[in-house]
Amino acid sequence: MATDPAEPRVAVEPKGTRDWLRDSVEAGGGILVEPAEAEALVWTAPGLDEGETVDDATSLGELLAAHPSVGWVQLPWAGVELYRAAGLLDDQRVWTCGKGIYGPPVAEHALTLTLAGLRNLKRLATARSWRADAGVSLMGGGVTIFGGGGIARSLVSLLAPFDCRIQVVRRHDTPLAGTHLTMPFEQRYQALAGVDAVVLALPLTPETEGLIGDIELELMEPHAWLVNVARGRHVVVDDLVKALRDDAIGGAALDVTDPEPLPPGHPLWDLPNCLITSHVANTEDMAIPLLSQRVSANVARFAAGQPLLGRVDPELGY
């Protein structure tokens, strides 16, 4: 049966993974087809916390090589480093991802980790006897956020009631609403001292891998907490372990680690000033409505010839 030319032909692959996205394609006005007939592809590979491997990028590359008619690819998550490393991101197609949509739940988790860290909840909650006073209040404190995207914007909003002085470090110095100071990446060292928490909420690129090492940890305040809701490879883990053992900083609250998953017996598990959650800042249940809305909106925009949301810059890698 002939279809309206304005109805995009969209494949959802691999089959059997997040089939609810098929409903999202149809809700946006798309027609579900096999890859051989598709002009657009919604890729539904597992997230990094669910065992995503290089094989996922390889499978996507093989599918695209076999079906060059696909002109737009929608990736499921905000992080696209796996596909960049595989050499898939190019100018031959339009690439979009989930950046921007997961900001609220991830920022909520970042705030949770920040408060738990500054209040020494791991030590206090695991104590088996009454403990002495401990903890730092976030009210009127200082927070540095690395990253200026959706997570950072959401976190800035959540921090408003705490009356914090907020600094943002990003690729450029364009001011971020609600913050006191925005610095370009070249000035990042200045943003580490004098704050109570340093939050990592930025993409993983060759420039940001190993962003936090011994030099950066030495610049942080002795009571300050490092909070990472981005990618584990932003942090040099051996340097972090040493800093935590030496009480060089207050502690680290990590939703992501390197390696990931963090193996049993790793030193980070047992450090009293290290709080770890297993990459749960954005869960599947949280993602379903957010990613569904993004896919539906982008299918409708694709049909109308409008700019797509969450566009990936192949040169920047995010």
Query: Mind telling me the catalytic residues?
Result: 231, 260, 279
End-to-end CA distance of the chain: 39
Beta strands in the chain (DSSP E): 9-13, 31-32, 40-43, 72-74, 94-96, 142-146, 165-170, 181-184, 197-200, 225-228, 251-254, 274-276
CB 238 within 8 A of CB 264: no
User: 170-179: buried (b, 16+ CB within 10 Å) or exposed (e) per residue?
Assistant: bbebeebeeb
Query: Tokens standing for 34?
Result: 């096999």
CA gap 151, 291 in Å, rounded: 15
Size of the chain, expressed as the number of residues it contains? 318
Numbers of helices and strands, H then E, in the chain:
10, 12
CA gap 26, 240 in Å, rounded: 47
Query: Residue type at 249?
Result: I
In the sheet where 197-200 sits, what is the strand order?
181-184, 165-170, 142-146, 197-200, 225-228, 251-254, 274-276
User: 141-156: buried (b, 16+ CB within 10 Å) or exposed (e) per residue?
Assistant: bbbbbbbbbbbbbbbb
